Amino acid sequence: MKGDELYALLRRRGVLWPTAEIYGGAQGLYDYGPLGAKLKRRIEEAWTAWFVGLSHDYYLIEPAEILPEAVVRASGHLENFTDPEVTCENCHQAFRADTILEKVRPEGVDGLTPEQIADIVHEHRVRCPNCSSTALSVPKPFNLMFGLDFGVTGRERVYLRPETAQSSYLSFPRMWDVGRKALPLGVAVVGKAYRNEIAPRQVLFRMRAFTQTELQIFFDPSHFPLPFGRVRDESLPVVRAARRLAGSEEVEHVRAEELVSAGALPDFYVFHLVHSYHFFRDVLKLPADRLRLLEKSDQERAFYNRIQFDIEANLESLGGFKELGAVHYRGDYDLGRHGQGSGRDLSVTQTGGRSVLPHVLELTGGPDRYLWAVADLLLAQDGDRTVWRLPPYLAPVTAGVFPLIPKAHRAYALRLADELAAAGIDVQYDDAGTIGKRYARMDEAGTPFCVTVDGETVSDGPNRDTVTVRDRDSKTQERVPVASLSAHLGASTRSPRPARA
């Protein structure tokens, strides 16, 4: 589906819509409706179950969303978390430099000085996208953080966190103290981050308030014990940086073991890369042939990242491969910076007396993007129906409950819907229109099962107290006793877990 068609469908179905829509919306902000809020929450729960489930020593925390200025100064965000911004001297609109240069310089402007960017603008006679004037300014760095005045005096400067990662780094010493004082130690956060994007776009892909799912793993680089044997033979669809520099973006399928032995990547990195890939393939159920792991080159990575693969999905709605997540080996940059900033040495002494400043492996991504990807890749036309093939554990509604003939079967169907809800099954009662219309609404909402109460259910015949259960994907129907219905429906609502390390 094209991007605007997909967004229109998601708006119409109440998955999401612009914030403050009756006031014309607010750029880069979206609200999730009933289907979207539930789907997003399920995705976040599935992410947590998968990644926190990787080890007994990985934990979920919920830190505050506001950070003191000293934190963002130490992390480098105050100085460096900027985009070059070009203003039009005629109409006074501001644009990101890489956006207005998209056509003439598709590789972006990272690493260029403001003067170099201005030269390119001049050389190509680039015009203002708004008024077509060529009077464009030399770019200025524009900081993407939202600053706030804190407290009654307003003299203390604080910031909405630009990423959840910082909260995990700040929590490390406390987590060390309350934990079992051993490395590796993983600290996960699922929460909002805020960026004052100059040009928010692509709906859920560049928002000003968005959710991140991030796991920061603190470890001793000389010793990271993990069961690599479990993933040794897994094949990964990678595009290595060297190959890209040689001009090819073709995917190679490489075994995990080869990435370590011949590919010179550390086993702890590859182990977590495999599990990140499996999250998208096996938990979100995105088609494997739409996924790739793209290695970033020295020039593309932030300087503190020693290894970086982005996990990308090929999305028709956004015109190609888009980043859904990444695995960053950040070295000791983060605890080093916060050690300096806070004046507290964040080294730890492990059992056996070895002291180490932990390194960080970061598994990052965002459920807003995951949600868009499961809409793009799993919502499709099947003949004359639109079907959202969400795995049952992600589906906002597990089962639609219908009376075949409302007048005759409503009371039974309503009672059944209540009983299923009481048993913890997410159900939606619907008696509007024909059965075909009700199926169509459920198919489009991703509901995996539809339960219909009919004449046989309420009869004295052999099918008394049985209902038909219709499967969304195969459209097949089976007769199921009401007594075993909640077990039948509930069996598929638990998201996959990895084998524990």
Q: How many residues bind Zn ion (CB under 5 A)?
A: 7
Our finding on whether 90 is near Zn ion (CB under 5 A) is yes
Query: In angstroms, what is the minimal distance from the CB of 94 to Zn ion?
Result: 10
- CA distances to 48, 78, 84, 89, 124 from 138, rounded to whole Å, are 44, 21, 9, 10, 14
Window of 58-66, 125-133, 145-153, 306-314 that interacts with Zn ion by CB under 5 A: 125-133
Instruction: Tell me how crowded residue 353 is: count the other CB atoms within 10 A of its CB.
Output: 6
Our finding on whether 91 is near Zn ion (CB under 5 A) is yes
d(CA 255, CA 163): 32
DSSP label at 317?
A: G
Query: In angstroms, what is the minimal distance from the CB of 98 to Zn ion?
Result: 18
Query: In angstroms, what is the minimal distance from the CB of 137 to Zn ion?
Result: 11
Q: Hey, what amino acid is at 197? A: E
Window of 54-62, 133-141, 253-261, 477-485 that interacts with Zn ion by CB under 5 A: 133-141
Give which of 336, 346, 331, 445 is closest to 386, Cα–Cα: 445
- CA distances to 221, 243, 270, 365 from 252, rounded to whole Å, are 28, 10, 15, 23
To the nearest 10°, report the CA torsion of 194, 197, 199, 200. -10
Exactly one of 80, 113, 130, 261 binds Zn ion (CB under 5 A); which one?
130
Q: Which is nearer to Zn ion, 104 or 131 (CB)?
A: 131
| DSSP secondary structure string for all residues of 230-281 | GTTT-EEEEE-HHHHHTT----EEEEHHHHHHTT---HHHHHHHHHHHHIII
Our finding on whether 88 is near Zn ion (CB under 5 A) is yes
Query: How is residue 104 written in tokens?
Result: 């003439």
Our finding on whether 128 is near Zn ion (CB under 5 A) is yes
Window of 98-106, 129-137, 337-345, 400-408 that interacts with Zn ion by CB under 5 A: 129-137
Query: In angstroms, what is the minimal distance from the CB of 129 to Zn ion?
Result: 8
d(CA 63, CA 83): 27
Q: Which is nearer to Zn ion, 129 or 147 (CB)?
A: 129
Degrees, nearest 5: CA angle 129-135-137: 90
d(CA 389, CA 319): 21
Our finding on whether 135 is near Zn ion (CB under 5 A) is no
Our finding on whether 126 is near Zn ion (CB under 5 A) is no
Window of 54-62, 124-132, 263-271, 374-382 that interacts with Zn ion by CB under 5 A: 124-132
Exactly one of 131, 178, 182, 262 binds Zn ion (CB under 5 A); which one?
131
Window of 18-26, 132-140, 164-172, 402-410 that interacts with Zn ion by CB under 5 A: 132-140
Our finding on whether 35 is near Zn ion (CB under 5 A) is no
Which chain residues interact with Zn ion by CB under 5 A? Answer: 88, 90-91, 128, 130-131, 133
